[in-house]
Each structure stands twice: as structure tokens, then as C-alpha cells.
Amino acid sequence: MGRLLPFIGFVLLAGLLGFGIWWNSSHDPTAVPSPLINKPAPAFVLPRLDNPAQTVSKDAMLGKPYLINVFASWCFACGEEHPVLMAESKTFGVPVIGYDYKDDPADAKAWLAQHGNPYDLVIADPSGHTAIDFGVYGAPETFLIDSKGVIRYKRIGPLTPDVIAQQLKPAIDALQKEAP
């Protein structure tokens, strides 16, 4: 029996590896489930990028669904995402808030001036402290928050036309159907 142990161990290992192949072909390996989905968004109070004296808070945004798109001028993938947002952000039917993440406000303003501003308003989080509450671990990320302030959808990585058509828009539509 003892001589069979290595073989049994291998059978278990092979089972695990086979599971891995099946799992990876049926799941997106980069998809990380956010523990925040269907949980209230963290409370935030952040200054506007164009007018730091004015702040935007979660409470002020309650009552209608909106999107938060985390970006930064230093972020390479955001540059890829940017033209997509420029083309489609007005078709979402909900306000899109730009969330400038760990960025020098001057750099962000220059970046938006150069590439265009797809956002309805932009809030700035130069220290990145609030972003920790959102579980942001790299820009770009996108959050869909409903009228009660609950996170309903999250995308890590750039939005692409496919992702928008297949995931984001259905999620927005579902929200708007719920709304009375």
C-alpha cells in the first residue's frame, strides 16, 4: 500500500491540473471577483479636479445611477481606453465620473486637455487613500453604482467596445429597468 502512495498523490495532482485547464478555458483568469459587488459603495468626499474648493460626495450622488471610471495621466492602459470613452461615454445614459487616481492634478488637466474630456465631472484623489476603500488596484477600473449607492458592476482593466456592449450596457439597462 505504501508503494502506491506516490501514484495516488499523482492522481490527485493530475485531477487538480485537469480542473485547472477546464477552469481556465471556462473562466477569465484575470477576472477577480470584487467583494464589493452588491455592497454599498464606500463613502467618499473628494475635490473636483477643475475646482478643488468644490467637493463631490457619495451622499450628493444618491438618487440616480452613475459610473466611476478610475484613470490617471501616467497610466498607459488608460490611454488605450480613452478613445473608447470619448466615443461612447455619452451613450451610456448615466453620468460618468472620472476618478483621477494618484496623479498630479496639473498633469491630469493637461492630459484631459490634450486627449479630450469624456467625463461629466472629474474628481481627484492624489493620495489614493479613498481608492483603497474602493479596492482599486490599478487604473483603469470602472464601477457602476446604483441610485441607492450600491456597487452593481465592476471592471478591472480598460473598457473596450466589446466589454461595453456585452457587460456594461446590459448592467446599466438592468438598473434602469429596476428603477420605478
State the binding string over 119-158 for another protein (x if CB under 8 A, else -). ----------------------------------------
**Least distance from C-beta 74 to another protein, angstroms?**
7
- How many whole angstroms separate alpha carbon 30 and alpha carbon 126? 27
Distance, CA of 59 to chain centre: 20
Binding to another protein by residue 91, rule CB under 8 A?
no
Q: Is 4 in the site for another protein (CB under 8 A)?
A: yes
Grid cell at residue 161:
467596445
Amino acid at 86: M
State which residue, 30 or 91, has the beta carbon closest to another protein: 30
Residue 180 sits in the site that holds another protein (CB under 8 A): no
For another protein, give the closer residue by CB, 16 or 60: 16
CA distance 148 to 131: 20
Asked if 51 interacts with another protein (CB under 8 A), we say no
Whether 49 contacts 108, CB under 8 Å: yes
* DSSP letter (8 states) at residue 90: G
Indicate the helix (H) or strand (E) that contains 160: none
Give the shortest CB-28-to-another protein separation in angstroms.
11
Alpha-carbon dihedral 87, 55, 147, 159, rounded to 10 degrees? 30
Select the span of 29-37, 45-53, 161-169, 172-180 touching another protein (CB under 8 A): 29-37
Query: Where do contacts with another protein occur on this chain (CB under 8 A)?
Result: 3-4, 6-7, 10-11, 13-14, 16-21, 23-25, 27, 29-30, 32-33, 74, 107
